[in-house]
Amino acid sequence: MLTNPLTKNISKENTAADITQYLDNDGYQGWRKAHSMVPDDIINLVKDGGLRGRGGAGFNTGLKWSFVPRGEGSPEQKFVVCNADEMEPGTFKDRLLMERDPHLLLEGMAIAAYAIGASIGYIFIRGEYHLAAERLERAIEEAKSQGLIGKNIFDSDFSLEIFVHRSAGNYICGEETALLNALEGQRAIPRAKPPFPQVSGLWGKPTVVNNVETFCNIPHLVAYGVDWYRGLGVGQDAGSKIFGVSGKVKNPGTWELPMGTPIREIIEQYAGGMRDGLRLKGFLPGGGSTDFLGPDHLDLPMDYDVIGKAGSRMGTGTIIVLDDKTCPIGLVLNLTQFFARESCGWCTPCRDGLPWIVKVLQRIESGEGLPEDLELLHEQCKRIAPGKTFCALAPGAAEPIQSSLKLFEQDYIDHIKKGCCPYK
């Protein structure tokens, strides 16, 4: 995906490839090839390549594109939108891609736009990502100067304008329909589905919304083909993935590795293992809104379905490590405070339920917890489960809570019995 070797710690770099460097490394070859193809063939290629969305959901990208109305009678105006509102706790991969390799994102968006017939693209970027936004804007101008985006690309009748839109919102803008509302200048709240954005998205027009890393997989998949791309993975899923590790490990960072790389290899080989004197107690495999897994899951491959069957989600593929000297209740409290603050307030279970859970966790962590608080937390997690809320924010927030009650039950009991946090 990147020009760096697969095993290089991407987070240690701080340079960006300009247009000359990118072209010297065969940049925009995928775009040139795609432009010579029939759009439906591009969609089928991406579908057959098995690329699954890298933003967390893991839906087949080509299949998602295929839902866009095309051909005679379809709306003339279509949009392609990049979800760069990266705010998932523990996740820091998309920022690095945009800062280090902005043309890779632009090339992926150009291919997607051509495949679905979109003439306008937006990069909806987290407001705090100032450097990434600046580098993307510069890359857009460079690509325009080379005729790679803009009017009449490759002397054809296909034109594409791409704009960087700095978000003024919060975590909820990462939900694709809330993002579209924010892009339209409306309150950032999720929309009811159906209709899905592919049919009625931005300003009611067909729209494809994909994550930064998803778009960055497209150019090489198109340039080198399905067999090559599928051959990158070592498990059930195709391609490579940027995996990350944060927490008390010796070498936190991000690495581009084959899909299906074992969790143990990521933590122990690339992240250097736990710091001296610490032991792994558990980990969140895909960011702050995934269920905890324990040391007995270390040998699982990082594949969407495998992690799902283990009781969690691969999510963004960025692992948050919990050591045996850090309080798991304190960690869960910190995450829940974040999600409660970021709620859009549109539905009652999320708006009122998450602050209530924060109060209960604060009570337990401060040594004032009651035995019945554990049952109360279980009940509240059920009340914000999937299907009980308008979007996935609250159900995602419940995942580390409910899994910590299962894996670290004794820690909760010790807090309540001792009347204090045993880790302090």
The answer to whether residue 1 is domain-embedded is no
Give the integer Cα–Cα distance in Å for 80 and 210. 8
Q: Looking up tokens 């944060």, which residue turns up?
A: 246
Range with the poorest average pLDDT among 55-64, 98-107, 300-309: 55-64
- The closest of 186, 216, 259 to 86, measured between CA atoms, is 216
Copy the structure tokens of residue 220.
């090489």
- The closest of 156, 146, 88 to 119, measured between CA atoms, is 156
Task: Tell me the torsion sign for CA atoms 166, 170, 174, 180.
Answer: negative
Q: Do residues 356 and 267 both lie within one domain?
A: no
pLDDT reading at 63 higher than 60: yes
pLDDT band at 313 (very low <50, low <70, confident <90, very high): very high
Q: Do residues 31 and 98 both lie within one domain?
A: yes
- The CATH number of whichever domain residue 50 belongs to comes to 3.40.50.11540
Q: Do residues 206 and 250 both lie within one domain?
A: no
Q: Do residues 117 and 260 both lie within one domain?
A: no
- Stated as kind and residue range, the H or E segment containing 84 is strand 79-84
Domain housing 367: 328-418
Q: Do residues 111 and 151 both lie within one domain?
A: yes
Looking at 323, 343, 363, the residue that finishes a domain is 323
Looking at 323, 352, 379, the residue that finishes a domain is 323
- Stated as kind and residue range, the H or E segment containing 350 is helix 348-365
Q: Do residues 319 and 333 both lie within one domain?
A: no
pLDDT (tens digit per residue) in 78-127: 999 999 999 999 999 999 999 999 999 999 999 999 999 999 999 999 99
Looking at 279, 308, 323, the residue that finishes a domain is 323
Q: Looking up tokens 């017939």, which residue turns up?
A: 117
- The CATH number of whichever domain residue 363 belongs to comes to 1.20.1440.230
One-letter amino acid for residue 409 of the chain:
E
What does the DSSP assignment read for 93-146?
SHHHHHHH-HHHHHHHHHHHHHHHT--EEEEEE-TT-HHHHHHHHHHHHHHHHT
Range with the poorest average pLDDT among 13-27, 123-137, 151-165, 334-348: 13-27
pLDDT (tens digit per residue) in 222-259: 999 999 999 999 988 999 999 999 999 999 999 999 99
- pLDDT, mean of residues 366-376: 95
Copy the structure tokens of residue 157.
């009748």
pLDDT reading at 3 higher than 50: no
The answer to whether residue 423 is domain-embedded is no
The answer to whether residue 70 is domain-embedded is yes
The answer to whether residue 359 is domain-embedded is yes
Q: Do residues 342 and 372 both lie within one domain?
A: yes
pLDDT reading at 172 higher than 50: yes
- The CATH number of whichever domain residue 309 belongs to comes to 3.10.20.600
One-letter amino acid for residue 123 of the chain:
I
- pLDDT, mean of residues 351-359: 96
Q: Do residues 176 and 295 both lie within one domain?
A: no
The answer to whether residue 2 is domain-embedded is no
- pLDDT, mean of residues 206-219: 97
Number of structural domains (the chain) is: 3
All residues at 6 or more sequence positions from 228 whose CB lies less than 8 Å from its CB, including other chains? none
The answer to whether residue 3 is domain-embedded is no
Q: Do residues 227 and 249 both lie within one domain?
A: no
Q: Do residues 58 and 158 both lie within one domain?
A: yes
The answer to whether residue 5 is domain-embedded is no
Give the integer Cα–Cα distance in Å for 29 and 22. 10
Q: Do residues 195 and 49 both lie within one domain?
A: yes
3-state helix, strand, coil in the chain (%, to 5): 45, 15, 40
- pLDDT, mean of residues 345-368: 95
Question: What pLDDT is attached to residue 58?
Answer: 87
- pLDDT, mean of residues 56-61: 89
pLDDT reading at 6 higher than 70: no
The answer to whether residue 251 is domain-embedded is yes
Q: Do residues 300 and 345 both lie within one domain?
A: no
Question: What pLDDT is attached to residue 178?
Answer: 96
Residues in the chain: 424
% of the chain residues with pLDDT over 90: 91
